Amino acid sequence: MKALRIHEFGTPSHTILEDIAPATAGPDEVTVRIEAASVNPLDLKMLAGHMQPVFPVSFPYTLGTDFAGVVETLGANVRGFQPGDRVVGRAGASTGGAFAQTAVVPANSLCRIPASMSFEQAAALPTSAGTAWQALFGVGKLVAGQRVLIHAAAGGVGSFAVQFAKQAGARVIVTASSKNHGLAKELGADEVIDYRHEDFSARLRDLDLVIDPLGGDTAGRSWSVLKPGGTLVSLVDPTIAPRGDVNAAFVFFQGDTEVLQGITKLFEARRLQVILDSIHPLDDARVALEQVASGHARGKVIIRASR
């Protein structure tokens, strides 16, 4: 089978599409024929070697965590799945393996995909939608009637977070460049700020929650828009700590199949849009990685595991 691997840390140009022998499923594992995978900024951080202290890897390492596909074979202890089932799941970052034609994964990391959902749409979900959910409700404790600022609303995490926050009954304010204002409004944003031409911190005050996938200067200016008791949730700064009477917390995304299954049900009920930036064959996986590295993907970048 084909797998996108690295033998050293580096950039997308260091990835190599190699022909390797597929692994065999252990007793609690499932072999999945991967149909689609999605690219996350995490994949680039793994590729660069920046995540070694948190998610150590050994070489050769097959990139990719988020995938969707079809169950091929089951380990002896696996119950609840059949060959042919359409599934979505997330491999651990240290294990990787999603940017390949097949993957062996723990059965308990999988969820079934509704018939109305494509493999590309399913593959977009695990990390981005899961993190959006965890940031808003797990860490941010968002409830109806609150006001939330979501930075980078057009990105992988942001495009889901806007929809979840709106459906939870919050007033949703977002930042995005002007080309993405229509998209942000369509997803449910009540107010859109063009971060290239306006300083959000000059307009906003007394918010309950800020979701920050950017850090740096954006994080620095986010404190002043929060009310006493409000919370700044960072996706990028593990050292963030409360300041004065404003709370702060880092999201360390943990895959949760119950949450993921719930998100697929929202889609099935036509209450969730999955925004796909672009779809690339596995042979062009480097292009997909470069697109995410640009920092301006619109929704999710997908790799199609063509055969």
Contact set with ligand NAP (CB under 6 A): 40-42, 127-128, 131, 151-152, 154-158, 175-177, 180, 195, 213-214, 218, 235-236, 251-253, 292, 295-298
- To ligand NAP, the closest distance from the beta carbon of 239 in angstroms equals 12
Kindly tell me the sign of the dihedral angle through the C-alpha atoms of 104, 108, 114, 118: negative
Q: Which residues of 109-127 are buried (b: 16+ CB within 10 A; e: fewer)?
A: bbbbbbeebbbbbbbbbbb
Residue 182 CB contacts under 8 Å (≥ 6 apart), including other chains: none
- To ligand NAP, the closest distance from the beta carbon of 42 in angstroms equals 5
- To ligand NAP, the closest distance from the beta carbon of 72 in angstroms equals 29
Of the two residues 44 and 117, which places its CB atom closer to ligand NAP in the complex? 44
- To ligand NAP, the closest distance from the beta carbon of 188 in angstroms equals 16
Asked if 192 and 171 touch (Cβ cutoff 8 Å), the reply is no
Of the two residues 81 and 250, which places its CB atom closer to ligand NAP in the complex? 250
Q: Which helix (H) or strand (E) holds 47?
A: helix 41-48
- To ligand NAP, the closest distance from the beta carbon of 136 in angstroms equals 13
- To ligand NAP, the closest distance from the beta carbon of 80 in angstroms equals 27
Exposed (0-12), middle (13-18) or buried (19+): which is 221, by Cβ within 10 Å? middle
Of the two residues 86 and 300, which places its CB atom closer to ligand NAP in the complex? 300
* Nearest-CB residue for ligand NAP: 155
Amino acid at 183: L
Q: Which helix (H) or strand (E) holds 302?
A: strand 300-304
d(CA 3, CA 17): 6
Of the two residues 78 and 235, which places its CB atom closer to ligand NAP in the complex? 235
Of the two residues 165 and 176, which places its CB atom closer to ligand NAP in the complex? 176
**Residue 290: which of 43, 6, 106, 5 has the closest Cα?**
43
Helix (H, G, I), strand (E, B) or coil at 183: helix
Of the two residues 25 and 124, which places its CB atom closer to ligand NAP in the complex? 124
- To ligand NAP, the closest distance from the beta carbon of 157 in angstroms equals 4
Count the neighbouring beta carbons within 10 Å of the beta carbon of residue 90: 27
Of the two residues 73 and 177, which places its CB atom closer to ligand NAP in the complex? 177
Contacts for 289-294: CB closer than 8 Å, 24+ residues apart: 289/12, 289/15, 289/39, 289/43, 289/44, 289/47, 289/63, 290/12, 291/39, 292/39, 292/40, 292/41, 292/43, 292/44, 293/11, 293/12, 293/44
- To ligand NAP, the closest distance from the beta carbon of 273 in angstroms equals 15
Of the two residues 25 and 214, which places its CB atom closer to ligand NAP in the complex? 214
